[in-house]
Amino acid sequence: MACCHKLLAVTVLFAALFQATEVEGGVRFSTLERNLVVNAQIQSQNVSSGVAKVGVDSLAVQWNLNSSLEIEVDSEYASVKVKLCFAPKSQIDRGWRKTDDDLQRDNTCPKEIATKLYRSEGNFVVWRIPKNVPGGEYFVRAYVLDTQAVELAYGQNTDDAKTTNLITIIPITGRLPSIDIAGIVLSLFSVVSLCSFLLAETLLGRKPAMS
Amino acid sequence: MAPHNEHQSQGITGSPVLPVPKDVMDELSSAQATDLKGRPFALPVDSEHKAKTLRLYSFASPHMLTFHLSWISFMTCFFSTFAPPPLMPVIRDNLNFTKVDISNAAVASVSGSIISRLLMGTICDLAGPRYGCAILIMVTAPAVFCMPLVNSVTGFIMVRFFISFALATFVSCQFWMSSMFNSKIVGLANGTAAGWGNVGGGVTQLVMPLVFSLIRHQFGAEEFTAWRLAFFLPGVMHVVMGLLVLTLGQDLPDGNYAALKRSGDKVSDTFDKVFWHGVTNYRTWIFTITYGYCLGVELTVDNIIAEYFYDRFDVNLSTAGIIASTFGFMNIFARPLGGIVSDLTARRFGMRGRLWVLWIIQSLGGVFCVVLGLTHQLTSSIVVMLIFSIFVQAACGATFGVIPFISRRSLGIISGLIGAGGNVGSILTQVLFFSSSKYSSETGIMLMGVMTLACTSVLFLVYFPQWGGMLFPPNSKTTEEDYYGDEWSEEERSAGLANASYKFAANSRSERGARRAVPVSA
């Protein structure tokens, strides 16, 4: 009887483990309505460049409810999450950035710009682009969430094919002069100490044998 | 004991050859068991002064100190070669990689060592494993220090290529173990040293993300700077180990090659003869193929597994690193286990047992590789991966239970060729199954398992006349002395150059197995 209990316990444990690791599907993007109107511009020292540098430039994003919609469509809207998303050009041959209709598995939008309470108009945020954003082409998308943080609708600053109004971001290299110098110095140390050792052993060996 | 420079000594082991009967010489040797400077050995030794036991907790010079220097320096090289994969999610964003770029870099990371493993075999035969190991590890340190400076895809691929030269320390490690440890435990010694060295591939998956995290959070560095700084750790490890090997290491139980050569205790062999006898032995090529499907598969998995778990199962960088590291950590016991199983089987069944055990273990590795590719769930994937890793790594250990017996004269170059074959296998599997978007990673893993099963079957072709093969019994007319003596010409044999090989032949009679036990004196 004791062994039956143990077996049952183990079976239940395994079942629970398998259950726990089953991921429930999220909301499907294709079911969302495009009810927000989103605009994004680069705010830069160098206005005419047309590109944004991480750490230096900012993105100014505005969003509001599409005024041509019925009045009651936003009754469940609670908050808005604004995200920076990869344009198709930056997703080619990069499976880790793939777009998936299931929003829980979708990797299109890696960076969150802002999360704000929902208002139908007058929304504005300026976001300094952080230094860990990779280089590439992006667009801005805003998801509308209800009180349970489930996506209800969205808006984006580009067309459905994600080809217009794209934002080009220039990344940092991550290299520093101090890193360069340290690397060179340590490399030289390695080679020079090796050569000195070999030389010393050859020269010492030529003396009369000690024992 | 008379001064050593009065003795005529030959062969790689450098032990003196006296004009007295063999059994008297054996008794003298083991009774005195001192090195050339008259100090007694800490471990029991045989007539070649090779240790007869492996004491892992000891650091006694020369056998155990060499063991520890050898596996730690090999582990360092594995650590630096496979340091980029766990940080790949950060590096691929910094340098803007596509899938093809990552795959090309992964292929480059196992290509450099093909050339260096071949060269290292020859260097060990001619100049000694101590110089081979130390020079290589210190010359590849600048390559590791170049990784923080990389700015482009090409630069990254070049740096991974040059760092991979360091994996040739495997050859010096195995050569060193075969020179220091008796043939009855050579499988265990080789398997443990190489297994613990291969653990570097696991340690790096765990440590590099931790170091990266530390640098980011404690020092507040940007992600794209933090991964670069993390690479100073493997670089410094290279330099430290190189210096330790130079100062503390020793080529042979009786001393270093250069000193032994100067005092006449070691005769140099020539490259072309050593090379010829290595490449014309068909068994070298069979094991080159099969090693490609145990070590090769292991190297490929080291390159892809962290990204596989990160992308497929949506775990974060540190978690993917921890899961991936368990694959490498199985080497702590899996590879030595392969060596032990090989040695234990040889006691009863001799060389035929070693071959059968190798075929069974490696084929099971292929089977579990197929299963891994077909597993869709995270926890079961981890479990299957662990079982798969045990078999694949034990197969590597079992392979090196056989290799010391293929040749005595050309041990270095054969170890080098077979080690290089491991890398070629890795390149093949990476190019065939993981470089394009045609196969998903899980399909690639499954196909890799199928190819492993197919290529392992060439083991049936191996035949030792004095011991037999998997399907055929031995030829009772051929002895071990005939097999190893045939590597030397008539003139070389009569000049006494083959005496070390004959000594090895006598010690290798254990490969006949229990059923055909023969008195030791010929």
Rounded distance between C-alpha atoms, residue A184 and residue B522, angstroms: 59
Estimate to the nearest angstrom the gap between the alpha carbon of B192 and the chain centroid. 10
Mean of pLDDT values over A143-157: 91
Alpha helices in A22-171 (DSSP H): none
Interface with chain A: mutation pick from B76, B136, B213, B239, highest number of A CBs within 10 Å: B239
pLDDT of res. B385: 95
Which DSSP helix (H) or strand (E) runs through A72? none
pLDDT of res. B501: 84
CATH number reported for the structural domain that contains residue B133 in this entry: 1.20.1250.20
Residues of A in contact with B131 (CB under 8 A): 198
Q: Please give, rounded to a whole number of angstroms, the shortest distance from the CA of A168 to a CA of chain B.
A: 14
Whether B223 and A179 lie within 8 Å, measured CB to CB: no
Domain residue limits at B359? 62-469
The Cα diameter of chain B in Å comes to 73
Q: List Cβ neighbours of A127 (8 Å cut-off, separation of 6 or more).
A: A58, A59, A60, A61, A113, A114
pLDDT of res. A45: 78
Rounded distance between C-alpha atoms, residue B377 and residue B385, angstroms: 12
Report the relative pairing of strands A136-145 and A151-156 from DSSP bridges: antiparallel
Q: What is the DSSP letter of A93?
A: T
Whether A132 and B225 lie within 8 Å, measured CB to CB: no
Rounded distance between C-alpha atoms, residue B463 and residue B475, angstroms: 10
Domain count, chain B: 1
Pick the closest to residue A186 from B142, B24, B162, B478 (CA basis): B142
> What is the percent of chain A with per-residue pLDDT over 70, rounded to a whole number?
85
Rounded distance between C-alpha atoms, residue B399 and residue A94, angstroms: 38
Rounded distance between C-alpha atoms, residue B498 and residue B480, angstroms: 13
Instruction: Let me know: does B152 contact B95? Beta carbons within 8 Å.
Output: yes
Rounded distance between C-alpha atoms, residue B288 and residue B114, angstroms: 11
At position A86, the amino acid (one-letter code) is: F
Residues of B in contact with A98 (CB under 8 A): none
Nearest 5 degrees, angle CA A197-CA A203-CA A208?
130
Token pair for A19 = 């259950």
Interface with chain A: mutation pick from B225, B241, B265, B442, highest number of A CBs within 10 Å: B225
Asked whether residue B55 is assigned to any structural domain, the reply reads no
Rounded distance between C-alpha atoms, residue B419 and residue B74, angstroms: 13
Mean of pLDDT values over A69-91: 88
Token pair for A142 = 């805003």
Does residue A15 surpass a pLDDT of 50?
no
At position B149, the amino acid (one-letter code) is: L
Is the ipTM value over 0.90, yes or no? no
Residues of A in contact with B238 (CB under 8 A): 190
Interface with chain B: mutation pick from A86, A173, A180, A188, highest number of B CBs within 10 Å: A173
Pick the closest to residue B107 from B137, B81, B138 (CA basis): B81
Instruction: Let me know: does A151 contact A143? Beta carbons within 8 Å.
Output: yes
For tokens 């969003």, the residue is A63
Q: List Cβ neighbours of A130 (8 Å cut-off, separation of 6 or more).
A: A54, A55, A111
Q: List Cβ neighbours of B439 (8 Å cut-off, separation of 6 or more).
A: B433, B447
pLDDT confidence band for A10 (50 / 70 / 90): low
Q: What is the CATH number of domain A28-170?
A: 2.60.40.1930
Does residue A191 surpass a pLDDT of 80?
yes
Report the chain B residue with the minimal C-alpha distance to residue A131: B222
Rounded distance between C-alpha atoms, residue B477 and residue B490, angstroms: 20
pLDDT of res. B153: 95
Residues of A in contact with B89 (CB under 8 A): 96
Token pair for B132 = 């081979």
pLDDT of res. B91: 95
Instruction: Let me know: does B274 contact B119? Beta carbons within 8 Å.
Output: no
Report the relative pairing of strands A111-117 and A123-128 from DSSP bridges: unpaired
User: What residues form DSSP beta bridges with B284?
Assistant: none
Q: Please give, rounded to a whole number of angstroms, the shortest distance from the CA of B350 to a CA of chain A.
A: 43
Instruction: Let me know: does B306 contact B320? Beta carbons within 8 Å.
Output: yes
B186-198 and B169-180 helices cross at what angle (nearest 10)?
Answer: 150
Phi, psi angle pair for A28, to nearest 5°: -90, 135
pLDDT of res. B453: 95
Instruction: Let me know: does B184 contact B510? Beta carbons within 8 Å.
Output: yes
Torsion, Cα B353 B359 B360 B361, to 10 degrees, reads 100
Token pair for B131 = 């110089």
Alpha helices in B280-410 (DSSP H): 282-291, 295-313, 317-329, 331-373, 378-402
| Total-model pTM | 0.81
Asked whether residue B290 is assigned to any structural domain, the reply reads yes
Rounded distance between C-alpha atoms, residue B418 and residue B416, angstroms: 6
Q: Which of B148, B242, B437 sits opposite A194 (nearest CB)?
A: B242
CA distances from B416 to A21, A110, B479 (A): 45, 46, 27
pLDDT in 10s for each residue of chain B, 522 residues: 333 333 333 333 434 444 555 555 554 554 456 665 677 777 888 877 888 888 888 887 788 888 999 999 999 999 999 999 999 999 999 999 998 899 899 999 989 988 898 888 778 877 888 999 999 999 999 999 999 999 999 999 999 999 999 999 988 888 888 888 887 777 778 888 888 998 998 899 999 999 999 999 998 889 999 999 999 999 999 999 999 999 998 888 877 776 666 555 555 677 788 888 889 999 999 999 999 999 999 999 988 898 889 888 888 888 888 999 999 899 889 988 998 899 899 889 999 999 999 999 999 999 999 999 999 899 999 999 999 999 999 999 899 889 889 988 888 788 888 888 999 999 999 999 888 777 788 899 999 999 999 999 999 999 999 998 999 988 888 888 888 888 888 888 888 778 878 888 888 888 888 866 555 444
Pick the closest to residue A138 from A89, A98, A92, A102 (CA basis): A89
Q: Which of A131, A183, A209 sits opposite B148 (nearest CB)?
A: A183
Q: Would you call B324 helix, strand, or coil by DSSP?
A: helix
CA atoms within a 13 Å half-sphere pointing along the CA-CB vector of B55: 15
For tokens 């999360």, the residue is A115
Mean of pLDDT values over A34-52: 84
Asked whether residue B45 is assigned to any structural domain, the reply reads no
Asked whether residue B494 is assigned to any structural domain, the reply reads no
Rounded distance between C-alpha atoms, residue B421 and residue B455, angstroms: 12
pLDDT confidence band for A189 (50 / 70 / 90): very high
Which DSSP helix (H) or strand (E) runs through B294? none
Q: Please give, rounded to a whole number of angstroms, the shortest distance from the CA of B126 to a CA of chain A.
A: 16
Rounded distance between C-alpha atoms, residue B163 and residue B148, angstroms: 13
Whether B258 and A201 lie within 8 Å, measured CB to CB: yes
Instruction: Let me know: does A191 contact B139? Beta carbons within 8 Å.
Output: yes
CA atoms within a 13 Å half-sphere pointing along the CA-CB vector of B308: 28
Domain locations in chain A as residue ranges: 28-170
Q: Would you call A85 helix, strand, or coil by DSSP?
A: strand
Which DSSP helix (H) or strand (E) runs through B245? helix B232-248
Instruction: Let me know: does B62 contact B14? Beta carbons within 8 Å.
Output: no
Token pair for A75 = 């009754």
Rounded distance between C-alpha atoms, residue B206 and residue B229, angstroms: 16
Whether A179 and B145 lie within 8 Å, measured CB to CB: no
How many residues are present in chain A?
A: 211
pLDDT of res. B5: 34
